[in-house]
Structure 1
Amino acid sequence: MCPEAADMLKMKYDCTLEASAAAYAKGCSLTNSSVNSRPNEGENHWVALFTGDSTQDVPNAIDAWYSEITRNGLNKQMMYWISLETKPNGPRSFTQMAWANTYKVGCAVALCGTNTFTVCRYSPRIALSESDYSGNIVDEKIYTLGTPCQSCPSTCVAGEDLCETPST
């Protein structure tokens, strides 16, 4: 579906990001939070009817975010152009998950009436200026095209075709 990434970092689960996601999910908001409220975190948000099985909410949300690429497509250069930022129903949640430099994730689910609110937070997030933060950075590569691990900043995780994450 997407071309191979030469510099994709392996994700690590982060309990601090989970707590941050849980705090926002409990508010039952229908929109993403303000970037100013989470300057070091990217975010995906998904609302669905409660099915009685909350263990499937995070996998279902991830599937929905991933499917954005099949519905909306992405350019072959894997660039995050302004057209992706402004396109109605653009693949912004997909690109947040696929951003090569992101390597921490934490997710949470809250029951709000008959709906479940799933929020995942991602880090690190790059500050463009003191007042403008973005996980999806216009005119930047989502990831570098190439043979897996070809452009790893350190080493390749054996058998996974992913780059080792920083030790921080």
Structure 2
Amino acid sequence: MDAAKNHFELFGLPTSFTVDTNRLAERYRALSTQARADTALATASPAQLDEAYRTLLDPLARARYLLRLHGRELGRGRGNAGLLVEQLELREQLQEVSNRTRTALAVSSVLTDLAEQSAVLAKELRTLFEDPSTDNLELAHDLVHQLEFIALCRRDAEQRRDALQRRG
């Protein structure tokens, strides 16, 4: 890939948390066709295009990437007692799902809660990345950690849902 171009520039998109996924898909198809047709003229290899596309398509990966573009590596988040309590409650809620008689409904409820929390955090990230000040980037860093935890919980809940459907 052209080292001077970041993922957003590669696809001709503004560097923003908000991405026009339709335009991203159109540009991905066009660049993929170009890369296959004439690798000498292509701006990126097919593997690099795939990685850039997946990164920009996924809000969590996109937020991580934006932090890196702003010189922030994703390390440990700042200690947040409220977040820790929330994470413990989510874990307990997932554990309790296994003990309920209406497990499928409980898993569905957990997945809905997690989707709602992700949407709220994504909205906050959008606002923070619009003004990437030092304080906002620090807050965005913490929100990305929260989103990572929610994604982990979502995967656990989806695995439980899938197991239930197989038994079902």
Choose 1 or 2 for highest CA Rg.
2
Which structure features the higher share of helix residues? 2
Same structural fold, with TM-score higher than 0.5 when normalized by the shorter chain: no
TM-score range, shorter chain: under 0.3
